[in-house]
């Protein structure tokens, strides 16, 4: 039988009962004859707690030491799970990212993976062991421990699946899969049976936390069959794959990025500055230019880079980004309908940016969840709307 990579998120490994239930699932998968690699996140909100501890000691802690600290959370989960599996009679061994050969660049707290050399995983699987891997971490070309950015355990799972030629990669989480919008914010949201890599990538990039953007990029590049589903349930979840054949709904789903920033530079003219040069590591969520201004939407990391004194000073505004993604998201009709729905709900789109497969509205953070619900009602709850057609997306 083939190799299956499973990733369990923080809520699934938070406490004895949950760990035991994960261990039972894993042992059953192993007993069915599969080679099993399990990637785990830190329990619950442990990573947040560790970051808080560091900031209680220093205003800007060393990024290297932060990585050292944060990887401790995943070590707790991986060793406990391995202990539970062995106690159940299912032989297992746990490894750090470094031990399974995840080699990254030297960008602490947000490192990129350069190479994966999973020799020890292959050896242990061949000996019949379940391999438990601490997610979210690697080792840099300078031999220091690195982390892959918040939510990076998804990336660990997908790169290992690719390096091992796994049959599939399952992301087991606290929701039943990918929804038309975050089900914790939009009670009327619906589970998607399938999502294309392209739409999933855009949703993740623009704030959907169910999957990490880099993980989707790797999955697409290596053709990994990615399944997102609830841990401890038999439901089918969501399959992320290449664009499915057949009819598709114009809008696949919505995301909300509640911690975004708009950086504003005046360019040219009297008192204006030159074209802002963004640090090469900053990934803008979108860029638009209008009336002598350049506006760049950034996440927290990007905004920190822009605040750095070496940067061309920008006016920074806290915003939320509300996004609709899908094959018909960038049409003039969709843009007008979305902006209209937001205005009608009492919101003010500060900037609207439409791409060929997405539309992003920058809004005040306050009240942005209500705006998400209004947009969901427009696209997914209208009688006779796209809800009834297409692939159910
Ligand atoms: N524990 C890390 C985080 O909280 C990585 C992860 O959960 O994927 O971001
Ligand atoms: Mg996550």
**pLDDT tens digits, residue range 337-373?**
999 999 999 999 999 999 989 999 999 999 999 999 9
| 3-state percent helix, strand, coil for the chain, nearest multiple of 5 | 35, 25, 40
Distances (CA, A) of 92 to 13, 29, 140, 170, 190: 16, 13, 26, 19, 37
pLDDT the model gives residue 310: 73
Centre of ligand 2 from the C-alpha of residue 323, in Å: 19
Q: What is the pLDDT of residue 153?
A: 98
Mean pLDDT by 10 residues, the chain (393 residues): 94 96 97 97 98 96 97 98 98 98 96 97 98 98 97 98 97 95 96 95 94 96 95 89 79 96 82 70 87 89 81 87 95 93 94 93 96 96 57 37
Alpha helices (H) in the chain, listed in sequence order: 16-31, 46-57, 63-87, 119-126, 153-164, 197-205, 213-222, 300-307, 332-344, 368-380
CB of 73 closer than 6 angstroms to any ligand 1 atom = yes
Residue 286 host element (H or E)? strand 286-290
Q: Are strands 168-173 and 226-230 parallel, antiparallel or unpaired?
A: parallel
| Closest approach atom of ligand 1 to CA 153 | 8
Residue 10 per-residue DSSP state: G
Could you tell me if the CB of 189 is within 6 A of ligand 1? Answer: no
Beta bridge partners of 317: 262
Tokens describing residue 306 = 């822009």
Read off the pTM: 0.92
What is the spatial distance between Cα 350 and Cα 329, in angstroms, rounded to a whole number? Answer: 19
8 Å CB contact between 70 and 51: yes
Sheet containing 238-241: give its strands across: 92-95, 130-134, 35-40, 3-8, 168-173, 226-230, 238-241, 194-196
Output Rg (C-alpha) for the chain, integer angstroms: 22
Q: Whose CA is nearest to atom 8 of ligand 1?
A: 151
Residue of 12, 47, 73, 173 to mutate, ligand 1, most atoms within 8 A of C-beta:
47
CA of 205 to the centre of ligand 2 (A): 13
Residue 240's closest CA among 211, 273, 261? 211
The per-residue pLDDT for range 106-116, each reduced to its tens digit, is 999 999 999 99
3-class secondary structure, 3? strand
The reported pLDDT for the residue numbered 270 is 63
- 295: part of which helix (H) or strand (E)? strand 293-298
> Which one of the ligands is nearest to 213 CA?
2
CB-neighbour burial class of residue 132 (10 A; exposed 0-12, middle 13-18, buried 19+) = buried
- Any atom of ligand 1 within 6 Å of the Cβ of 210: no
Residue whose Cα lies nearest atom 9 of ligand 1: it is 150
Pick from 293, 251, 272: which is nearest to 393 by CA?
251
Query: pLDDT at position 271, please?
Result: 59
Within 13 A of 297's CA, how many CA atoms are on the CB side? 24
| CB 82, CB 96: distance < 8 Å | no
Structure tokens at 318: 């806290």
Q: What value, to the nearest 5°, has the Cα angle with vertex 43 and ends 216 and 194?
A: 30
The pLDDT, as a whole number, for residue 388 is 32
Number of C-alpha atoms within 13 angstroms, CB side, residue 230?
11
């Amino acid at each position: 039988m083939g190799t299956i990579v499973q990733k369990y998120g923080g809520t699934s490994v938070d406490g004895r009962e949950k760990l035991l239930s994960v261990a039972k699932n894993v042992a059953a998968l192993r007993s069915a004859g599969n080679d099993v690699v399990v990637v785990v996140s830190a329990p619950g909100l442990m990573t947040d707690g560790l970051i808080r501890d560091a900031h209680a000691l220093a205003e800007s802690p060393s990024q290297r030491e932060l990585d050292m600290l944060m990887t401790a959370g995943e070590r707790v989960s991986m060793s406990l799970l391995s202990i539970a599996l062995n106690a159940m009679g299912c032989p297992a061994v746990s490894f750090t990212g470094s031990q399974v050969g995840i080699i990254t660049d030297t960008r602490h707290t947000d490192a990129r993976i350069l190479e994966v050399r999973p020799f020890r995983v292959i050896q242990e699987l061949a000996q019949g062991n379940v391999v438990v891997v601490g997610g979210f971490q690697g080792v840099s070309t300078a031999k220091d421990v690195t982390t892959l950015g918040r939510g990076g355990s998804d990336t660990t799972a997908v790169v290992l699946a690719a390096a091992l030629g796994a049959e599939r990669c399952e992301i087991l989480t606290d929701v039943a899969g990918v929804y038309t919008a975050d089900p914790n914010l939009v009670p009327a949201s619906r589970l998607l049976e399938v999502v294309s890599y392209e739409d999933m990538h855009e949703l993740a990039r623009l704030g959907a936390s169910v999957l990490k953007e880099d993980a989707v990029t790797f999955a697409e590049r290596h053709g990994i069959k990615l399944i997102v589903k609830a841990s401890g349930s038999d439901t089918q979840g969501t399959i992320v794959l290449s664009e499915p054949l057949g009819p598709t709904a114009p809008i696949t789903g919505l995301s909300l990025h509640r911690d975004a920033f708009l950086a504003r530079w005046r360019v040219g003219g009297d008192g204006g500055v030159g074209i802002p040069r963004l640090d090469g590591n900053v990934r803008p969520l979108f860029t638009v230019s209008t009336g002598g201004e350049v506006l760049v939407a950034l996440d927290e990391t990007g905004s920190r880079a822009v605040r750095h004194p070496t940067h061309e000073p920008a006016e920074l505004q806290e915003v939320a980004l509300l996004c609709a993604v899908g094959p018909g998201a960038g049409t003039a009709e969709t843009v007008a309908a979305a902006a209209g729905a937001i205005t009608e709900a009492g919101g003010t789109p500060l900037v609207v940016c439409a791409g060929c497969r997405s539309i992003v509205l920058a809004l005040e953070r306050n009240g942005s969840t209500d705006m998400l619900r209004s947009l969901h009602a427009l696209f997914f709850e209208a009688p006779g709307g796209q809800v009834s057609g297409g692939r159910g997306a």
